[in-house]
Homo-oligomer: A and B are copies of this chain.
Amino acid sequence: MKLGQSLKFVSQIGIFDWLPKYKRSDLADDGLAGLIVAIMLVPQGMAYALLAGLPPQVGLYASIVPLILYGVFGSSRTLAVGPVAIVSLMVASVLGDLADVGTVDMVSGALILAFLSGAMLLLMGLARLGFLVNFLSHPVISGFSSAAALVIGISQLKHLLGFDIPRSHLITETFAHAFTNIAQLNVPTFAIAMLALTILLVWRSGLPSLLARTPLPKPVMNSIAKAGPLVCVVVTILLVWVFDLGGQYGVSIVGEVPSGLPPLTLPSFEVDVISQLVPAAFLISVVGFLESVSVAKTLASKKRQKVDANQELVALGAANIGAAFTGGYPVTGGFSRSLVNFTAGAVTPLASIFTAGLVALSVVFLTPLLFFLPKATLAAIIMVAVSSLIDLKAVRTAWTYNKADAGSLLVTFGAVLLLGVEAGIVAGAILSIALYLWRTSRPHVAVVGRVGKTEHFRNELRHEVQTYPSLLAVRVDESLYFANAAFLEARLLADVADHPDVTDLVLIMSAVNFIDGSALESLENLIERLRDAGVTLHLAEVKGPVMDGLNKVDFEAKLQPGRVFLSTHEAHRLLLGADEIGDVSMKLPA
């Protein structure tokens, strides 16, 4: 990097921006927001680690150093980084397959994934490849999130029901197994799960209005409103402990969680394991980045702040590399906790650093208390958290506006359920690109005529317009490129065949933004074939950049006697003459 670039890069590191301006008064806001997020994060971190197939402490470790690193490097002021549901599911899916065949154990696989995905994010950020995520369309993301939420929810069934259900890529298989083995239901586990779900749902839907009627100060109210998962954890731990549900009744509990700060870990660098994990790490990076950057942008725009996609890549890269060296697993900016952080009043990333400190204190002092925590409680927390990701409204909206979008959404949704998480998102992305190409390969082509006595020309099928027998004006509503060149050539020749009196064809290029080499060849063909049919091809309204390109290959000479007109109106005036088109204004001296 040159000096200028280095300086620019350093100036984008978040902490150099916010720390010098830090005000003492912000401290209380950041502290409170940090506390509230920590209250959510401790149970969520453990729950997501469980979802990823990892021991609960891994989720806590991933909630310390990565948050600090993001706080230093990130460009968002209020993004809350840490374990999230979808990334955890993807980790479970990829490592589960490898662990089944004994290639790698889950914990060390998670470190490798975190390291690879961190390195990729960092490199993509330094190479300024943030734009790549734009190639995932909204319908694909929406279908993916809904399906992933469903898969996540269903993966927790076994914890809710209290008997083992073999991991399967097909949700129908999971349901069938659960149904046929329902006799194995562990009633106390199921009862605890139902209790936890009830607490969470009531807390989420009923409590805020109740709290609003109390005279409690707002910070206290906020903390209480977000403490649902914590209350669940405390209540169910007490139940298990008091009634000895773990021992006697077979309720599955978390058990011994090692206490102490995160260990220093070194991801293993076995080449064949790494090469197997690279594609998955790439997808985890892309999906994680996408979730993170869209939350960050939403929050930033509410406060007129800016988020730089490439700086976000660097910061998330640093956070994941941090996770890899401190016993964690892949992290990203999560939707729900970021929103909580924002509404709780976080002003700067110091809030996240507070959160990290509180999680660290929990790992050091509170883990003995978590021994009796039922896994069913964590499963309930996960299910409630992901339920908001299922977005049926998006399907309806897409269907109304654009069937192709609705198709991408549903195919992605179906592919995630039937083919798995990774294959599903890849299928969705390919489909939405294919649909785009398909659309541009058969462009809208309109024969246009003159609107009244104006200089405007519009589609003859949609407007009351005048056309002229010897002149055919055709507007092509797409750039000309290899995928539509043959289609257009055929279409224009057919148009000429349908208008036997035509001697001049004016191709209106107002919507043509470029012409690639294949289409240029096709145009040259067209000139010849029209000439053979006694028709001269002209162009009108050619855009500047397109004309520059045509001039390079001396296209105007090939067009002779055809011409390039500034406007469709000018083409009519000069090809037909002012009398013919009956326009008095044109008889005036220019």
Contacts and interface: CB of A to CB of B under 8 A. Distances in A.
A405 to B, nearest CB: 4
Given A544-B462, A552-B401, A517 B137 contact: yes
Interface in A400-441: 400-402, 404-405, 432-433, 436-437, 439-441
B402 A482 contact: no
Contacts of A520: 401-402
Interface stretch (A105-113, A182-190, A227-235, A483-491): A483-491
A437 B401 contact: no
A18 to B, nearest CB: 21
A511 B514 contact: no
Contacts of A139: 517-518
Contacts of A516: 137, 402, 404-405, 436
A260 interface: no
A370 to B, nearest CB: 42
A25 interface: no
B511 A134 contact: no
A529 interface: yes
Residue with the greatest number of chain B CB neighbours at <10 A, chosen from A398, A400, A479, A517: A517
A532 interface: yes
Given A510-B510, A510-B511, A511-B510, A549 B518 contact: no
B401 A549 contact: yes
Interface string A508-530: 00111110111011000100010
Contacts of A479: 440, 478
A567 interface: yes
A134 B544 contact: no
Interface of A, secondary structure class, is helix
A243 interface: no
Contacts of A301: 525, 529
A459 interface: yes
Interface in A425-467: 432-433, 436-437, 439-444, 446, 455-456, 459, 462
A543 interface: yes
B513 A443 contact: yes
A481 B517 CA distance: 24
A545 interface: yes
A393 interface: no
A455 B517 CA distance: 33
Given A511-B510, A529-B301, A544-B459, A441 B401 contact: no
A10 to B, nearest CB: 23
Interface string A252-264: 0000000000000
Contact of A134 (B487, B529, B543): B487
A213 interface: no
Contact of A513 (B136, B459, B478): B478
Nearest to A136: B482
A433 B444 contact: no
A478 B552 CA distance: 22
Interface in A526-540: 529, 532
Contact of A477 (B433, B446, B543): B543
A553 interface: yes
A442 B131 CA distance: 10
A204 interface: no
Contacts of A462: 544
A138 B521 contact: yes
Interface in A121-138: 131, 134-138
A444 B513 contact: yes
Contacts of A135: 437, 441, 482-483
A138 B487 contact: no
Contacts of A456: 566-567
Contacts of A525: 301
A439 B304 contact: no
A400 B552 contact: yes
Given A135-B483, A437-B135, A482-B136, A549 B402 contact: yes
Contacts of A512: 511
7 contacts: A137-B517, A402-B517, A402-B549, A432-B482, A436-B437, A456-B567, A478-B479
The 5 closest A-B pairs by CB, nearest first: A137-B482, A405-B517, A138-B518, A477-B513, A462-B544
